[in-house]
């Protein structure tokens, strides 16, 4: 009888064949203007109208919230005697974009904080959304829309995605604006997404060339200050549009990203390997189970049974050696590791050993 083999999942090894220099990138793709940013809002609210899928009796704060809501409506009730299953306490979050005006609409996200089974079909009661300064910047209310569902019947349950979190499209109403003053500015600052002196220097050159004057200066590897020319003093938006669309070459440091959970490896093309020798031995392990039949003697009291016979075999191949020249590129590294039959997990161990030896001329980042 054929052995029952253990299935093996293959993990793909990815090498990014990207150059360290990305041509013709715009300033707006690698930097942002200082002060022009989103603001996070959060609030605590109550979703009502659920079909028995709300918080259970052990979630006391949802019933307390309901009692407080009823008290503001002129109805006083003891929260300890409330027994309802169609409400759910939720946290409401939203992002306040820059330059948004009072009365504008924004999307909000609703997430259960109790033990509700689902917020499907619920309606969020008017909730205040506060910023980091504890000021109310928006309010939220409306029907909750889910990206999934949950259905229960006959002791069975079917669920898709997360039924305890949903969104309210245009459910947030902006009540207070975040002031960002741009008029009469004599200079503006650009902040790079990543700290890199080479990229900062190239950005300064690109801005000066686009504007037609020495208006930009790099303060450090991340911040660039740009002086507003007199002819743009009343057209600051036009000047910012001109600056953010300036094109430049972005420099990237050599880096190797390793995800040990999935066995994924991403290597930039500028990654170099010093002269090093690698010895790799392959280990093959096969576990198979054979099923034999045990037949008792004639006229005996025994029974015919199936007896599993487990067979384990281990074989180790002879190690193979590959030598990389000093300064080998990522293509040569890939070709060499493939030649010795290294899998993703083996490559991770090899790269860590090469880095420890000092022959990997790149940053090694494990996520």
78-127 pLDDT, tens digit per residue, is: 877 778 889 999 999 999 999 999 999 999 999 999 888 889 889 999 99
What is the average pLDDT score of the chain? 80
Phi and psi torsions of 49, nearest 5°: 85, 15
Contact call for residues 90 and 68 (beta carbons, < 8 A): no
CATH number for the region 22-36+181-251 comes to 3.30.1360
Asked if the model's pLDDT at residue 285 lies above 60, the reply is: no
CA dihedral 24, 29, 34, 36 (to 10 degrees): 140
Pick from 133-137, 152-156, 202-206, 266-270: least confident: 152-156
Q: Judge whether residue 11 has pLDDT over 50.
A: no
Task: Give mean pLDDT, residues 20-29.
Answer: 71
Q: What distances in angstroms separate CA 353 from CA 271, 276, 279, 347, 348, one per listed residue?
A: 16, 11, 11, 10, 9
Predicted model pTM: 0.67
The Cβ of residue 273 has, within 10 Å, a number of other Cβ atoms equal to 22
Q: Is the pLDDT at 321 greater than 70, yes or no?
A: no
C-beta separation of 224 from 203 below 8 A: yes
Q: Is residue 16 very low, low, confident or very high in pLDDT (cuts 50, 70, 90)?
A: very low
Delimiting residues of CATH 3.30.1360 domain(s) in the chain: 22-36+181-251
pLDDT of residue 284 exceeding 60, the answer is: no
Highest mean pLDDT among 34-38, 148-152, 170-174, 356-360: 170-174
Give the separation between CA 149 and CA 331, rounded to whole angstroms. Answer: 47
Query: Cβ contacts of residue 334 below 8 Å, gap of 6+?
Result: 15, 267
Query: pLDDT tens across 209-263, in order?
Result: 999 999 999 999 999 999 999 999 889 999 999 999 999 988 877 888 888 777 7
SS3 81: helix
Least confident of 244-253, 259-268, 303-312: 303-312
Greater confidence (359 vs 12) lies with 359
Neighbours of 136 (CB within 10 A): 13
| Cα torsion 326, 332, 335, 338: sign | positive
User: Whats the size of the chain, residue-wise?
Assistant: 367
Angle at 271 between CA 270 and CA 276, to 5 degrees: 140
Please give the average per-residue pLDDT across 284-306, as a whole number. 62
Q: How far apart are CA 107 and CA 94, in angstroms?
A: 6
| pLDDT reported for residue 336 | 76
């Amino acid at each position: 009888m054929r052995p029952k083999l253990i299935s093996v999942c293959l993990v793909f090894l990815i090498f990014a064949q990207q150059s360290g220099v990305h041509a013709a990138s715009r300033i707006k793709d690698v930097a942002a203007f200082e002060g022009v940013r989103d603001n996070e809002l959060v609030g605590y609210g109550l979703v009502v109208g659920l079909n028995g899928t709300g918080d259970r009796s052990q979630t006391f704060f949802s019933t307390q919230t309901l009692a407080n809501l009823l008290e503001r409506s002129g109805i006083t009730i003891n929260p300890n005697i409330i027994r309802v299953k169609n409400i759910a306490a939720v946290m409401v979050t939203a992002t306040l974009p820059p330059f948004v005006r009072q009365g504008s609409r924004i999307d909000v996200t609703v997430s259960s904080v109790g033990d509700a089974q689902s917020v499907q079909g619920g309606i969020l009661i008017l909730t205040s959304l506060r910023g980091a300064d504890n000021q109310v910047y928006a309010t939220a209310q409306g029907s909750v829309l889910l990206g999934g569902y949950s259905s229960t019947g006959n002791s069975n349950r079917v669920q898709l995605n997360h039924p305890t979190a949903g969104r309210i499209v245009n459910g947030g109403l902006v009540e207070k604006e975040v002031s960002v003053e741009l008029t009469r500015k004599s200079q503006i600052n650009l902040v790079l997404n990543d700290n890199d002196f080479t990229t900062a220097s190239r950005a300064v050159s690109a801005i000066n060339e686009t504007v037609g004057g020495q208006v930009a200066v790099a303060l450090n590897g991340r911040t660039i200050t740009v002086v507003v020319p007199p002819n743009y003093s009343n057209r600051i938006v036009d000047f910012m549009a001109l600056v953010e669309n300036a094109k430049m070459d972005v420099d990237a440091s050599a880096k190797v990203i390793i995800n040990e959970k999935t066995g994924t490896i991403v290597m930039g093309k500028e990654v170099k390997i010093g002269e090093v020798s690698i010895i790799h031995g392959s280990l093959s392990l096969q576990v198979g189970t054979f099923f034999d039949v045990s037949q008792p003697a004639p006229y005996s009291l025994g029974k015919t049974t199936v007896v599993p016979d487990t067979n384990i075999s281990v074989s180790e191949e002879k190690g193979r050696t590959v030598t990389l020249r000093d300064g080998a590129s990522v293509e040569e590294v890939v070709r060499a590791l493939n030649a010795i039959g290294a899998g993703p997990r083996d490559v991770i161990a090899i790269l860590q050993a090469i880095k420890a030896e000092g022959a990997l001329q790149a940053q090694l980042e494990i996520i």
